Amino acid sequence: MTTIHIEETPHLCAVLRLADTSLVLAHRLSEWCGHAPMLEEDLALANIALDLLGQARLLYQHAAELEGKGRTEDDFAYLRDAPQFRNYLIAELPRGDFAFTIVRQTLVSAFFHPFWQRAAGSRDATLAAIAAKAEKEVAYHLRHCGAWLVRLGDGTEESHRRTLAALDALWPYTGELFEVDAVGRAMIDAGVLPDPETIRPVFEATVDRLLREATLPKPPATWMHSGGLRGVHTEHLGHMLAVMQHLQRAYPGAVW
Amino acid sequence: MYTQALNEAVERPRVVEDPEKLAAFQARIDAEEKIEPNDWMPEAYRRTLIRQISQHAHSEVVGMLPEGNWLTRAPSLKRKAALLAKIQDEGGHGLYLYAAAETLGVSREELYEQLLAGKAKYSSIFNYPTLTWADIGCIGWLVDGAAIMNQIPLCRTSYGPYARAMIRICKEESFHQRQGYEIMLTLCRGTPEQKAMAQDALNRWWWPALMMFGPPDSESVHTEQSMRWKIKRFTNDELRQKFVDATVPQAHYLGLTIPDPELRYDEATGHWRYGKIDWEEFKRVIAGFGPCNRERLEAKRKAHEEGRWVREAALAYAAKQRARAMAQKIAAE
């Protein structure tokens, strides 16, 4: 099937941003399956990936309803090209080492836990229901990954060094989480999504506490990456989609 | 996923068992009592179980790799979620089985080192490559199907922890088997290209699946002893026949051809008679010369090596925490 064209209303765009972020992050986590440092983490990372994949599916189904053109969750996932993906850049970065994955998942969860908590009061009833489910899941992700962040930061010299390097690499991608463009503003004003500024203090407090426990310094204020929300991605997303969408692209219209 | 009757000889135990204890042990087995970790057991029984359970555990964790090969390419979100959940189940089975083996006085680390060193065996089936999406269907349908045939009797095996682990594992495997068959059904009802993909996968997986039951009874090294101890309840050939009888009609329903020109239905016995299995291939793959033996072990070694610093960090942190708790306690006193 050829690439589909989506007429994005602000509401649809906002839902796709969340859906794409969950899917892309689930995909990256799933790359660990069978290759984690210990069997327990094979299971745990797969579990987190499954939660995120479940969130993505619900969000795509909601997007399909909002669009009202009879599309399916798979159309959104498999038949859009990279510039049409709306995920935060932090989600698409390659999995890196275990420290990179843990730091990323901790930062993202530290943002999304309060985000979903607030979104559970959304005027969009479907989104509110998805948020209520996601909030419980992300609370666990934060607990699990936060505990690892502390272990790695306060573990050995090597683990400290690796975790610090991951934090330095990932921190410049956290600014995008708080970006509010015209779509974001419209959704905040309509009571569909929370204002990220209300999330910032909770995010900061969580990160500060974990970094302190992990004996890691807080990264200094720095230039922040941006672009994912408007489809300007890193070089990595195209490769990820080429793999992910391979069968749907090679056998157009086939049912799997 | 699965244990395989590899049937290599167990070293003779150095200890000479007390005949009275041995007789009492056999009486318990004969009375269908479960043997528990703290019960007396002959050394050879212990060793046979450690070997079998650990091979089974290794098979589960190595088996995560060929299926994991399609995680990033699963053709729909539903399939991606189901596959991820399935592989996660396999990892869980591995964990469960290592824990069962540990009740026999061997550590998981020791067993895992044996796997990585290439000294331990795992099911030969995972040394075959997954080349198309249909292979994921075939693994569920045939490999998990064969696993179930072999493992249902293990739910009644004489060693308690192993039997209990198998009950749970079998439930999940049967779910996997149905999922795999459903993938095959979808492909066979799909486009001609998809149907060809399904046939090609069956062609490649059929014979390796039959080999999963281990060498023929005529070449079995210690089936007899395992049967007497009720570790095993059916012979390799009996289980293989059950599998063939169950699977051939399923293939026909899919409209697929079993790649065995000698396959025929025996009216007199009600069994499907199959052609000659290439045991040379089986021995070769077990000996390390299958298409993916090297890759599978390399992948596991790489993950283990790359994860070393993580495990060290976790231990170092735990030690620090203990020291801190101790210091606090002393300060409080």
Give pairs for B112-119: CB < 8 Å, separation 24+.
Answer: B112/B304, B114/B54, B115/B58, B115/B61, B115/B62, B115/B297, B115/B300, B116/B297, B116/B300, B116/B301, B116/B304, B118/B288, B118/B297
Q: How far is A191 from chain B (nearest CA, A)?
A: 30
Question: How far is residue A144's CA from residue B292's CA, in Å, rounded to a whole number?
Answer: 34
Contact A254 B314 (CB under 8 A): no
Contact list, A61 vs chain B (CB under 8 Å): none
- Its sign, for the CA torsion B215, B219, B222, B224, is positive
**Per-window interface: B 83-122 vs A, CB < 8 A:** 84-85, 87-88, 91-92, 94-95, 98
The answer to whether B155 faces chain A, any CB pair under 8 Å, is no
Contact list, B133 vs chain A (CB under 8 Å): 247, 256
Residue B129: left if φ>0, alpha if ψ -120 to 50, beta else—which one?
Answer: beta
pLDDT score at B226: 87
pLDDT in tens, B175-233: 999 999 999 999 999 999 999 999 999 999 999 999 999 999 988 776 788 888 998 88
Please tell me chain A's helix, strand, coil percentages from 3-state DSSP, rounded to the nearest 5. Answer: 70, 0, 30
CATH architecture of A10-250: Up-down Bundle (1.20)
Interface with chain B: mutation pick from A1, A24, A42, highest number of B CBs within 10 Å? A42
Closest residue on chain A to B187 (Cα): A256
Closest residue on chain B to A29 (Cα): B72
Closest residue on chain B to A102 (Cα): B310
Question: What is the average pLDDT value for chain B, to the nearest integer?
Answer: 94
Contact list, B310 vs chain A (CB under 8 Å): 37-38, 41, 98, 152, 159
Question: How far is residue A200's CA from residue A178's CA, in Å, rounded to a whole number?
Answer: 8
Contact list, A213 vs chain B (CB under 8 Å): none
Contact list, B61 vs chain A (CB under 8 Å): 34, 39
Question: For residue B35, what are the β-bridge partners?
Answer: B159
pLDDT score at B222: 65
**Per-window interface: B 35-74 vs A, CB < 8 A:** 61, 64-65, 68, 71-73
B271: helix, strand or coil: strand
Contact list, B308 vs chain A (CB under 8 Å): 37
Residue B269: CB atoms within 10 A of its CB come to 10
Contact B81 A57 (CB under 8 A): yes
Q: What are phi and psi of A7, to 5 degrees?
A: -85, 105
Of the partner residues A43, A60, A77, the one whose CB lies closest to the CB of residue B91: A43
Integer angstrom CA distances of residue B273 from A136, B17, B259: 54, 43, 13
**pTM score, two decimals?**
0.95
Q: DSSP code of B38? A: T
Contact B193 A254 (CB under 8 A): yes
Contact B88 A54 (CB under 8 A): no
Of the partner residues A42, A77, A254, the one whose CB lies closest to the CB of residue B91: A42
pLDDT in tens, B246-275: 999 999 999 999 999 999 999 999 999 999
pLDDT score at B4: 60
Contact (Cβ atoms closer than 8 angstroms) between residue A85 and residue A241 = yes
Contact B311 A38 (CB under 8 A): yes
Contact B133 A35 (CB under 8 A): no
pLDDT score at B11: 53
Contact list, B302 vs chain A (CB under 8 Å): 35
pLDDT score at B125: 96
The answer to whether B261 faces chain A, any CB pair under 8 Å, is no
Of the partner residues A50, A98, A248, the one whose CB lies closest to the CB of residue B81: A50
Residue B61 burial by CB count (10 A; 0-12/13-18/19+): exposed, middle or buried? buried
pLDDT score at B224: 81
Contact A255 B190 (CB under 8 A): yes
- Its sign, for the CA torsion A99, A100, A101, A102, is positive
Sequence ranges of the domains in chain A: 10-250
pLDDT score at A197: 97
pLDDT score at B6: 52
Of the partner residues B191, B304, B316, the one whose CB lies closest to the CB of residue A251: B191
Of the partner residues A37, A56, A155, the one whose CB lies closest to the CB of residue B317: A155
Integer angstrom CA distances of residue B16 from B10, B13, B215, B229: 15, 7, 30, 18
Contact list, B311 vs chain A (CB under 8 Å): 37-38
Contact A46 B310 (CB under 8 A): no
Question: Which residue type, as a one-letter code, is found at position A75?
Answer: D
Q: How far is B59 from chain A (nearest CA, A)?
A: 12
Contact A42 B194 (CB under 8 A): no
Q: Which parts of chain A sit beneath pLDDT 70?
A: 1
> For residue A135, what are its two tokens?
């909030």
Q: Which parts of chain B sit beneath pLDDT 50?
A: 7-9
Contact A254 B303 (CB under 8 A): no
The answer to whether B75 faces chain A, any CB pair under 8 Å, is yes
Contact B314 A97 (CB under 8 A): no
H or E element: which one contains B296? helix B293-306
Contact list, A159 vs chain B (CB under 8 Å): 309-310, 312-313, 316
